[in-house]
Structure 1
Amino acid sequence: MIPHCGVLVRKMTSEKMMPKILLHQYASSPFAEKIRVCLGIKGLGWCAVDEPVIMPKPELIALTGGYRRIPVLQIGADIYCDSQLIVRELERRFPEPTLFPAGDRGLTQATALWTDRVVFQAAVAIIFGGLGDNVPSAFIKDREALRGGSFDTAAMGAAVPHMMGQLRAHVALLAEQLADGRSFLTGERPGLADANSYYNLWFIRSAYPPATKAFDQLPHVGDWLERVRAIGHGERSEVSREAALDIAQKSEPLAGTIATQDAKHAGKQVTVAADDYGRDQICGVLVGSSEHHISVRREDPIAGQVVVHFPRIGYSIES
């Protein structure tokens, strides 16, 4: 079990203790729920750093250099963006219990492209199309800025019947996987496949319960959802955004290595940006990369020197 937050702000590199896991999140975030379930599977202690649902997010931006999406994982002065990389880092640092009990590491991580994009977009259309005029105008304006385009709840509402059919078809795949009586999607132990597949259905149940009729009657799914819910979120405590900044400033980021294909960028100023939405460019010096990640070092007057890490899939790097 990782120690709780307790007394913060001491220089981590001088202490004989495990690093503190800080998750920048908010309660209704579906992608944060995915990570909270992963923390539950691993039985980890962690600190919730609650961020606003919409901009401005000054403390988060000080850490990331411009990346505003939730969740963000912070361990000392290392800042991990995007749930796909957060999962990878949690598994690297805390390998047991594994998120891949069936040995399906590559395949299960690939399913995130299904749940994070196709299924998520169906969930968004169903929820916000169903809520319609009840969606706050400030939220719509914020999400239009994030998407770089319209967030038209009326158009989503018109698409709800189609998207409900699509969602049911996606969830029917889960029912098929569970049909042999297994407890979780890859066997008797929960893993990332369950967290990936659970969070969109949790999002719908939490934000727009009438839409659960799209999957409530499918066999095996309801019991599986309850088993995943019962895993919990590990040992959670709270820490303020200001304290998280202080931790970053009083810590030192880990050293990294750079992959051969990125050698031309080594030690140089680069920009990293998502290629789907939330395309804010983050500038920094390339200090690490692999087939799976990109890491840039940056200085901030509030956060100090931090290294911000991004997944390779879905992100571009330019000098």
Structure 2
Amino acid sequence: MSDPILHHYATSPFSEKLRLILGYKKFAWRSVIVPSIMPKPDVMSLTGGYRKTPFLQVGADIYCDTALICDVLEHLQPDPSIYPEPSKGLARTIAQWADGTLFWAAMAHNFSPKGAADMFANAPPEAAKAFAEDRRAMSANMVRLRPGDATGAYKSYLRRLSDMLDDGPFLLGDVPTIADFACYHPLWFTRKRTPSMSGVLQLTPAVVDWMDRMAAIGHGTSEKIDAATAIAQASASVPRTLLTDSTFQDEHGIPLGSTVTIGAESFGPETTEGELIAATRTHYTLRRTDERAGTLHVHFPRIGYILKKTETTT
């Protein structure tokens, strides 16, 4: 099996979550840099509509959303585990909170006028405008926190993380779990991309020390390739899922083989259309064909995504 391909860009916080997990598991992986805003024609060839960053490619299988990608990486390289017993359920629950509640509080704090000035300090004014318009379109279905409210919440969440570090170097003990990687990436963004807003981290020194331990994990060994190479690999490959559950779980009255769309519940509402070939306890899989990438299987987590049958007209 070929090395996994991470489609990402350097300043993407969710990409940093995966880069660190790739490093922790000592993967050799390949790197495709994608645009941070639309248009993304090469991304669309592979995902069929999903435009959030990052996504993972293994041959002709495309895995969307870091929650699902983490399961794939765990399957590919089980040791060291990011879901160690006996805290696996707790770690997953904390990670889901971090990828949602913590992340959006951190981002609303980070994107104050000072933070935005940090991000676009060396960019022309039109770059900041284009980014803001792109993210406004992605968050059309969301209620966003105001910066002042977000900062108060962020401080409280940092204190809670600090309390979790009283008895060990990582949030749940002696080794990092998915909880650590998920809680780290929004804080990493505060520290690295919006340094004018990073003073909030200094209120919790234990968290800063933990961040240093997480950063020391590194990103493993990567090789840069271009999008055309990744698309050619997809075209030359046959889909073969790395997800272990396969039992059909019908919650919608939509049989396998139906033409459906799948999209995120809130942020990034763009949908992917294809033939539903799996709907399990944990994930959905669509089969779709692209003129450049060939036949692909595109995988989504069940939690956080909306499945709809495509209405056909005659």
How high is the TM-score relative to the length of structure 1? 0.87
Q: Deviations over 1:207-233 (max 9, x none)?
A: 111222212131411111100000001
Aligned to 1:287: 277
- Are 1:168 and 2:143 counterparts? no
Distance 1:54 1:39 in 2: 24
Distance 1:216 1:279 in 2: 35
Aligned to 1:126: 109
Aligned to 1:177: 164
Distance 1:125 1:272 in 2: 27
Aligned to 2:66: 83
Aligned to 2:308: 318
Q: 2:250 aligns with which of 261, 276, 294?
A: 261
| Root mean square deviation, CA, Å | 2.0
Segments of 4+ moved more than 3 angstroms: 130-135, 149-152, 255-258
Per the alignment, do residues 264 and 128 of structure 1 end up closer, same or farther by CA in structure 2, a change over 3 Å counting?
closer
Aligned to 1:146: 138
Aligned to 1:201: 187
Alignment check: 8 A CA contact 1:258 1:290 kept? yes
* Displacement of 1:70: 0.3
Distance 1:234 1:246 in 2: 25
Alignment gaps of 5+ in structure 2 = 121-127, 310-314
Letter in 2 for 1:124: M
Q: Deviations over 1:253-294 (max 9, x none)?
A: 016845142684211211111111211121111112211100
Distance 1:130 1:23 in 2: 31
Distance 1:89 1:23 in 2: 12
Alignment check: 8 A CA contact 1:286 1:297 kept? yes
Aligned to 2:11: 28
* Displacement of 1:193: 1.3
Aligned to 1:63: 46
Distance 1:289 1:145 in 2: 28
Q: Deviations over 1:42-92 (max 9, x none)?
A: 111111110001111101111000000001000000000011111111112
Q: 1:73 aligns with which of 44, 53, 56?
A: 56
Distance 2:103 2:115 in 1: 18
Aligned to 2:124: none
Alignment gaps of 5+ in structure 1 = 1-17
Alignment check: 8 A CA contact 2:61 2:296 kept? yes
User: How many aligned residue pairs are there?
Assistant: 296
Per the alignment, do residues 150 and 99 of structure 1 end up closer, same or farther by CA in structure 2, a change over 3 Å counting?
closer
Percent identical across equivalent pairs? 38
SS at match of 1:163: helix
* Displacement of 1:93: 2.2
Distance 1:316 1:34 in 2: 24
Alignment check: 8 A CA contact 1:38 1:191 kept? no
Q: 2:202 aligns with which of 216, 219, 227?
A: 216
SS at match of 1:202: helix
Aligned to 1:137: 129
How high is the TM-score relative to the length of structure 2? 0.89
